[in-house]
Amino acid sequence: MAQEPPAQDLMHYEAMAQEALRGVVRAALRRANAPGGLPGAHHFYLTFKTGAAGVEGPEELLSRYPDEMTIVLQHQFWDLEVGDETFGVTLKFGGRPQSLVVPYAALTRFYDPSVQFLLQFDAEQSPVSPGEAAPRSLAPATPADSSDTEAPNVVSLDHFRKK
């Protein structure tokens, strides 16, 4: 008896799950934007595709990070604006304040090292030239103290995918 091929996902559950997880980032940024700022020791590492549609910032800054960029929202950030599709923030780069606008769809990673909470998002694959350096960031993608025995809580959708 022939086995039936797997059903096609016409509901696009994977895309809906990714959007829901980006909603967690949006909610966290809204809480950070509330009076009093970030509570306790919470702070965020946000990694995004610099070439994604809707990313805005100084050309000389974005050109230094042609693939991905990681920003840190901790002690010194200003003008945080949290919208439904994008967020904007002013950070200092080289001692100068610079404003960025980032669509949530451009995010590839959200990490709060204070509680070891990590979300990773699917990103469109961009071709990498042979010999091109790995993605650079403004901050380390992992905590400075790697002696932690506790691994981050990674929310991965792989568990729900058919194998």
What is the per-residue pLDDT across 18-62, written as a single tens digit (0 to 9) for each? 999 999 999 999 999 999 889 999 999 999 999 999 999 999 999
Pick the closest to residue 102 from 45, 43, 42 (CA basis).
45
DSSP element (H, E) containing 80 = strand 78-82
Question: At residue 133, does pLDDT exceed 80?
Answer: no
Do the beta carbons of residue 19 and residue 114 sit within 8 Å? no
Query: How remote is the C-alpha of 15 from its chain's centroid?
Result: 16
Mean pLDDT, residues 139-163: 42
What confidence category does residue 144 fall into, taking pLDDT thresholds of 50, 70 and 90?
A: very low
Q: Which CATH class is domain 13-33+41-125+151-158?
A: mainly beta
pTM for the full model?
0.72
